[in-house]
């Protein structure tokens, strides 16, 4: 697997991009990571997808990873959607004839869903992993507090594998501080926009989610998935799994489900 690091100028400065590919990819997968993390945490996901025939591109969103911007400050989800659109345009130019699938985890699920609502014709498929598209009432309640208390993400909520939490806590590229008000306003504003529609029409969508997800609870996510019109056959909730299903103890099952879905539609 060949790995490269590139970048482009986005809405708020330079956006760093990681790329992975094999010799003759059949389709392109673009990965949109979650809040506070970075694309480097998805190298094993990229390796699995490359082995299944994908060329994978993963940007660090504004304020995350190696990209420009104040750490974990999201000025606007729509700006990040614009950055992803810039990357899609570059990829389709570099790899003409290859169809594009968009994969979004958590906050990245918000980004990916907004993209698909606005430009479904750009995409061959959409994969949503623990998408925060239904919000989280406990986190949204922080907006009523002044100042917002310093409550960072608990690494134990990510996976049943304690090594995942340990690596997350020790990763210097992961943001470990409190939520910023502007970021929460951007996130929950987009949650509201997603709920208003439109649905995703005929676009093939796969939803994968942990049953015990405390950050994007299934109970508030499922009604939005239903409203978006996702085929019930493509909704997979894994028993006992937490927020990061790509890093869970059953990650091989999840990645096999994703690559099989994409091989059929992309």
d(CA 38, CA 91): 20
d(CA 218, CA 215): 9
d(CA 256, CA 66): 29
Which contiguous run of DSSP H or E holds residue 213? none
Three-state DSSP state, 10: strand
Nearest Cα residue to 136 out of 114, 159, 153 = 153
What are the catalytic residues?
106, 213, 243
d(CA 228, CA 216): 17
d(CA 205, CA 140): 27
Alpha helices in 53-94 (DSSP H): 77-94
Residues 6+ apart with CB under 8 A from 121: none
Nearest Cα residue to 93 out of 57, 49, 68, 48 = 57
């Amino acid at each position: 697997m060949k790995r490269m690091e590139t970048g482009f100028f986005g809405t708020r400065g330079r956006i760093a991009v990681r790329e992975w590919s094999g010799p003759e990819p059949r389709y392109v997968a673009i990965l949109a990571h979650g809040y506070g993390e970075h694309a480097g945490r998805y190298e094993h996901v990229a390796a699995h997808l490359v082995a299944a025939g994908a060329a994978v591109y993963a940007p660090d969103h504004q304020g995350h990873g190696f990209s420009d911007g104040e750490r974990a400050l999201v000025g606007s989800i729509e700006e990040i959607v614009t950055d992803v659109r810039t990357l899609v345009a570059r990829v389709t130019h570099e790899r003409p004839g290859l169809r594009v699938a968009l994969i979004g985890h958590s906050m990245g699920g918000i980004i990916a869903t907004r993209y698909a609502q606005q430009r479904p014709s750009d995409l061959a498929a959409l994969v949503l992993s623990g998408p925060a598209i239904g919000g989280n009432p406990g986190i949204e309640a922080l907006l009523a507090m002044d100042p917002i208390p310093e409550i960072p993400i608990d690494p134990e909520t990510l996976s049943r594998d304690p090594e995942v939490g340990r690596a997350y806590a020790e990763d210097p590229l992961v943001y470990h501080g409190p939520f910023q008000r502007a970021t929460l306003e951007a996130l929950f504003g987009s949650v509201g926009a997603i709920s208003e529609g439109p649905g995703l029409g005929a676009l093939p969508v796969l939803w994968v989610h942990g049953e015990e997800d405390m950050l994007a609870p299934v109970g508030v996510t499922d009604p939005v998935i239903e409203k978006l019109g996702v085929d019930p056959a493509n909704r997979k909730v894994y028993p006992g799994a937490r927020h990061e299903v790509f890093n869970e103890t059953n990650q091989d099952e999840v990645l096999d489900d994703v690559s099989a879905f994409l091989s059929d539609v992309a």
